[in-house]
Amino acid sequence: MLEKYEKAGKIAARVRKQAAKKATAGMKVIDLVDWIESEIKSTGAGLSFPCNVSINQIAAHYTSPPNDDTVFCEGDIVKIDLGAEVDGFISDTAVTVIIEGDNGELVDEDGNPLKMPGRLDDGNPVVTEDEIEHRRAIIDASSNALENVISIVRDGVSLEEIGRVVQETMNSKGCNPIVNLSGHSLEQYNLHAGLSIPNYPEKSSVVLKEGDYVAIEPFATDGVGMVNDIPQSYIYSYLRNRPLRQPDAKRLLGWIRDDFTYFPFAQRHLLERYNPRSLNRAMRPLLASRAIYPYNALKEKSDAMVAQTEHTIIVEKDGCNVTTL
């Protein structure tokens, strides 16, 4: 079991490091996402969730829809959150990078501006050197918070203490934690098992125990430190079987149940069997009957920039084992 957690961790860590170098201005988000997911699968591992690539004020839960034209632009602060699973044993890890390079022309073949659902601006933002320095400080607030938490995790550490370390570290860098996003415990075939690991000192007597598997993910921002749903969703999970009348919807639900019993999926993962338009149509009754659940993308409430750093760790008696280093 430990071996499988460690294998899933190593795969995710390697892909995360390579992905962080690959993301450059002018590149399409979908090209990065496809590369990441095929790298993970090429090892024989599965995806513990669709790779999330969330730009600027989007904190989490963005992944490319089919034919996504969203492009990275110079100065973007980009969260890359990915995970692998080996026989259901999960890794979950994230890094934030600042995009460098030349944006190029952000137009389609007909010269029309690209539609970019992964951006809340129209593309080609002007980001000053000072602003880039500031964004780097937000990334440091998040990564330092994670390092400081890792240095105190051991059998018996309280969730409240973890949250305090996150908040104090971020405040000392002039940032705030996002209080309504949290880390989570992991179990075989269960990405969000039981425990939430807070990013602020929430009153709690719960402690971590030796042998606990947890993903710790402090989100830092220079804004108010909350996220809201935006209406769009790009990630889904299977909830339950439902009697559906439309044969197309029924078939789709069968495939989703078989292929994504435990782990979330994106529309991209169903394109071998559907074109995007018929997929949208077939998914509607599944959503309406709550056979599948949509995760809305999450945006910082005050439209501020967000950074995230995440590792999967195993709690030990006198410390912890970080599987995704």
Q: Site residues (CB under 5 A) for Co ion?
A: 92, 215
Q: Which of 192, 248, 259, 316 is catalytic?
A: 192
Q: Which residue has the tokens 């969703």?
A: 233
Whether 87 is catalytic: no
Contact 49, 42 (CB under 8 A): no
Question: Of all residues in the chain, what percent are helix, strand and coil, respectively (each to 5)?
Answer: 30, 30, 40
- From the CB of 92, what's the least distance to Co ion, in Å? 4
Q: Which is nearer to Co ion, 12 or 252 (CB)?
A: 12
Q: Which of 37, 74, 140, 217 is catalytic?
A: 217
- Alpha-carbon distance of 130 to 128, in angstroms, equals 5
What are φ and ψ of residue 133, in 5° steps? Answer: -60, -45
Whether 192 is catalytic: yes
Whether 61 is catalytic: no
Whether 184 is catalytic: yes
Q: Which is nearer to Co ion, 83 or 118 (CB)?
A: 83
Q: Which of 39, 76, 92, 222 is catalytic?
A: 92
Coil, strand, or helix at residue 128? coil
Q: Which of 184, 212, 222, 269 is catalytic?
A: 184
What are φ and ψ of residue 33, in 5° steps? Answer: -60, -45
Whether 92 is catalytic: yes
Q: Which is nearer to Co ion, 31 or 187 (CB)?
A: 187
Give me the half-sphere count of Cα atoms (radius 13 Å) on the Cβ side of residue 85: 20
- Alpha-carbon distance of 292 to 25, in angstroms, equals 35
- From the CB of 217, what's the least distance to Co ion, in Å? 5
Contact 43, 13 (CB under 8 A): no
Q: Which is nearer to Co ion, 137 or 150 (CB)?
A: 150
Beta bridge partners of residue 216, listed in sequence order: 311
- From the CB of 19, what's the least distance to Co ion, in Å? 16
- From the CB of 81, what's the least distance to Co ion, in Å? 7
- Alpha-carbon distance of 51 to 67, in angstroms, equals 16
Q: Which is nearer to Co ion, 215 or 298 (CB)?
A: 215
CB atoms within 10 A of CB 133: 10
- From the CB of 142, what's the least distance to Co ion, in Å? 13
Q: Which of 6, 81, 85, 140 is catalytic?
A: 81
Give me the active site residues, please: 81, 92, 184, 192, 217, 310
